[in-house]
Amino acid sequence: MDNQIYYCENCGGVMEFDVETQSLKCPNCDTVVPILNEQERIVEHSLTRHAMQTIRAEEKTTQTMECKGCGAKIEVDPTSTSVECPYCGSSYVLAEKQEDAIIPDGVLPFQIDKDRVGELFRQWMKGRWLAPGELKHLYQRERLQGIYLPYWTFDAKADARYTAMGGRRRTVTRKGPDGKTTHHVVTDWYPTSGALRHAFDDVLVPASHKLDGDLLRRAGVFGTRQMASYSPEYFSGYGAECYTVDLDDAHREAVQTMEQQLTEMARSDVLRRFDDARDIRIRTEYRDETYKHVMMPVYTTAYTYKGKQYHVLINGQSGRVEGDYPKSPARIAAIAAAVLVIVALVYWFSEGGSGRRHADLGGVWTAAWTAESETELENEEEIPWVYLEDSLPT
C-alpha cells in the first residue's frame, strides 16, 4: 500500500479524504479533488490450491509503524499526528524495514466523518447506565482513530446434499391406575434427505486478529455494495493495518461460515415437511471459488480505567458502536435495591397492607444497602434511588 502526501495545488495544504464528498479535500481552502473509482478494477481472483500456497505480496516502498505494546503493524498516513496505538493505547515505534503487502483489490471508504463519530461515541457512553459517572469524561477526540482493517472476501457456488432426521409430533392420551387421563406429546423420527444449491457472495473474513472477533461481529457487518476500487487517496488522513492472516487460513474460516449457513438452510428445508429436525449432516462441493483482498473502515480507541484496559469499536460505514466498559458496583447495587423495593411494594399492595409490611420493607432496604455501596455512591453522579419512609399510609 502506498502512503502519499497530497498537497493542495491552490494553497499547498495537505489534503485528506473527505467523507461528505468522498474526495480529497483541503482543510484550509476547501479545494476538492475527485478520486477516480473504476469498478472494473475490483477483480475477483480464482481461488486455487496453488494461489493459496504461493500467493506473494508486492513490495511496497512505505514505512510500517509497529506497536511495541501489542505488536500490531499499522500503515499510518505520513501526516498523522497520532502517537498511540488504536488497539492498546501504546506508543508507535517505527519499524525500519520493508514489509511485503498485497495491494488491495478494493476499499470501502469511510461513510462516518470524524466529527460525527465523536458524537456517536459520546452518546454511546451516556447510554451505559452501569458505567461509573466519571467514565464520560475519558473521551478524547484525538485518541479515537480511524483505521482501515484488512479483510479477505470469498465467493463460491455450493452444491450440497444433506441427510437428517425429521420429527413429527403427536399427542398420546393415557389413563393411569387412578383413572385420571393424561396427555403427552411424543415425537416420531423419520430419516430424510435433500439437495441444496446456493451462490455465496463476499463472505467476509478478517485478515487480522488484533481486534477481538466478537467485538467485530457485534459492530455489525459491512455492506460491500459501496466498495470502491483501490486508490491510496482514500487513506489520506487515516491509518491502515497490514494483513496477518494467510489466504489459506482465511479460506478455511470462510468454508466454516458457508457450512453453517448451508446447515441452517437444510434445517429450514426439513422443517417445511416436519415439526422438528436433528442430526443434520451436509456434504458439499464448491466450484467457481474466487477471493479478494479489501479494506474496511472502523474507528477504534482503547482507554484505561482503574488499571484495566477497555476497547470501543465504531463501524465506519454504519456508525454502529460496540465496546467494553467497566460496571460500577454501586450503580448495580442501586438498581438491584430499587427492583427489590418495587417488588416489596407490589407484595404490600397485593396483601392489602398487612401488618408485616414495615418489617418486610425494612428487610429489603437492609439487604440492598451496605456500607460499601454507600461509600462508593459518594462519588457517583445522579444515581436514582427509591426511599421508603418507616410509616406508610394504611
Name 305's Cβ contacts closer than 8 Å, sequence gap at least 6: 132, 135, 138, 325, 326
Lowest mean pLDDT among 29-33, 166-170, 235-239: 235-239
Whether 53 shows a pLDDT value over 70: the answer reads no
Q: What SS3 state is found at 14? A: strand
Cα 153 to chain centroid distance, Å, stands at 17
Mean pLDDT of the chain: 77
User: Which of left, alpha, beta for 167 (phi over 0: left; psi -120 to 50: alpha)?
Assistant: beta
State residue 168's pLDDT score.
Answer: 96
Q: What is the pLDDT of residues 85-113, one digit of tens each?
A: 666 666 444 443 334 457 889 999 999 98
What's CA 294's distance to the chain center, in Å? 18
DSSP state of 301: E
**CA dist., res. 167 & res. 190, Å (int):** 6
Higher pLDDT, 52 or 231: 231
Q: Coil, strand or helix: which one is 183?
A: strand
| Cα torsion angle, 20, 26, 30, 34, sign | negative
171 by Cβ neighbours in 10 Å (0-12 / 13-18 / 19+) ranks as: exposed
d(CA 85, CA 68): 9
237: left (phi over 0), alpha (psi -120 to 50) or beta: left
d(CA 162, CA 285): 12
Beta bridge partner(s), residue 284: 160
CA distances from 344 to 331, 338, 365, 383 (A): 20, 10, 10, 20
pLDDT at 353 over 90: no
Whether the pTM exceeds 0.85: the reply is no
Among the residue ranges 43-52, 86-95, 106-115, 347-356, the one predicted with the least confidence is: 86-95
| Domain locations in the chain as residue ranges | 16-155+198-253+289-323, 329-377
Q: Please, which residues have CB within 8 angstroms of residue 322's CB and are 6 or more apart in sequence?
A: 215, 218, 219, 220, 312, 313, 314
Q: What number is the average pLDDT over the span 361-365?
A: 44
Query: Would the pLDDT of 215 be above 80?
Result: yes
Residue of 42, 87, 53, 123 lying closest to 294 (CA atoms): 42
Per-residue model confidence as pLDDT tens digits over 241-251: 888 888 888 99
pLDDT of 380 higher than 50: no
In this structure, how many other beta carbons lie within 10 angstroms of the beta carbon of residue 325? 18
- The residue whose grid cell reads 461481529 is 217
User: Is the pLDDT confidence value at 360 over 60?
Assistant: no
Cβ atoms 60, 101 nearer than 8 A = yes
Lowest-pLDDT choice from 36-50, 55-69, 101-115, 142-156: 55-69
Of residues 69 and 82, more confidently modeled: 69
What cell numbers appear for 73 in the block? 503493524
Q: pLDDT value at position 121?
A: 81
pLDDT the model gives residue 349: 74
* Amino acid 108: pLDDT: 96
Q: How many residues does the chain have?
A: 394
pLDDT of 222-237, one tens digit each? 999 899 999 989 998 8
CB 33 within 8 A of CB 15: yes
User: What pLDDT score does 59 carry?
Assistant: 37
Which of 31-40, 88-97, 258-267 is the most confident on average?
258-267
Say which residue, 319 or 52, is predicted with more confidence. 319
The strand ranges marked E within the chain are 16-18, 23-25, 32-33, 45-46, 58-59, 64-67, 73-76, 92-95, 100-101, 106-107, 145-175, 181-206, 228-229, 239-241, 276-305, 308-315, 321-323
| pLDDT tens figures, 67-79 | 666 667 666 554 4
Whole-angstrom CA distances from 154 to 35, 45, 211, 246, 337 are: 26, 9, 21, 13, 51
High-pLDDT (> 90) share of the chain, %:
37
How many whole angstroms separate alpha carbon 103 and alpha carbon 240? 12
Classify residue 89 as left (phi > 0), alpha (psi -120 to 50) or beta. left
DSSP-derived 3-state class of residue 332: helix
